[in-house]
Amino acid sequence: MKLIVGLGNPGRRYLETRHNVGFVVASKLITKVGASSAREKFNGELSEGLVDGEKVAVLCPMTFMNASGDSVRKAVDFYKIEPAGDDLLVICDDLNLPCGRLRIRRSGSAGGQKGLADVIRQLGTDQVPRLRIGIDRPPDHMEVVDYVLGKFEPENRDLIEQACDTAAVASLDWIRNGITQCMNRYNAEPKK
């Protein structure tokens, strides 16, 4: 059983915002795994499918970003998944990475990402595998919260769409081949 969690904020107001790239990747992944229609479970939207005979659950917490850990904790407990093992992957935005850049890691700090920080707090370990999608740093004159809740500039929309497509493929690769192979393949500088 694999559990993939896309972090974001629920509601129309937050569609297409930088903070919701985790939801975008989850949506693309749901299509790729032929998952069931989303149902409400674990304070989130849950879809289940199969990849090469492996059961996969895709969860989008509906708790708002800063409280994502509650939803993840409930799903981890229900599926009896070891947070620091090979069966959980959290997908989120990262303003410390250039726009469109992917970074997959086994563990580490939340790097200022409040949703990931709450997941780490709720699970009691920073050994949580994660796939981060770069959204760039905000301009000097802009507050971080306004930036992450804002929409991508027109010149970055194609880049972020491509990054989300690649992240969905990377998630499938993680299911099939594990995190080490994914780190080697997807952490490289993207080709221009």
Q: Is 25 exposed, middle or buried (0-12, 13-18, 19+ CB in 10 A)?
A: buried
Quick check: 71 and 22 in contact, CB under 8 A? no
Phi, psi angle pair for 133, to nearest 5°: -120, 120
Which is the catalytic residue, given 19, 28, 73, 132?
A: 19
Q: CB count, 10 Å around CB of 47?
A: 23
Q: DSSP strand E in 87-190: where?
A: 88-94, 102-105, 130-134
Torsion of CA 171, 174, 180, 183, to 10 degrees: -10
Q: Is 149 exposed, middle or buried (0-12, 13-18, 19+ CB in 10 A)?
A: middle
To the query of whether residue 141 is one of the catalytic residues in this protein, the response is no
Q: Is 155 exposed, middle or buried (0-12, 13-18, 19+ CB in 10 A)?
A: exposed
The residues carrying an active-site annotation are: 19
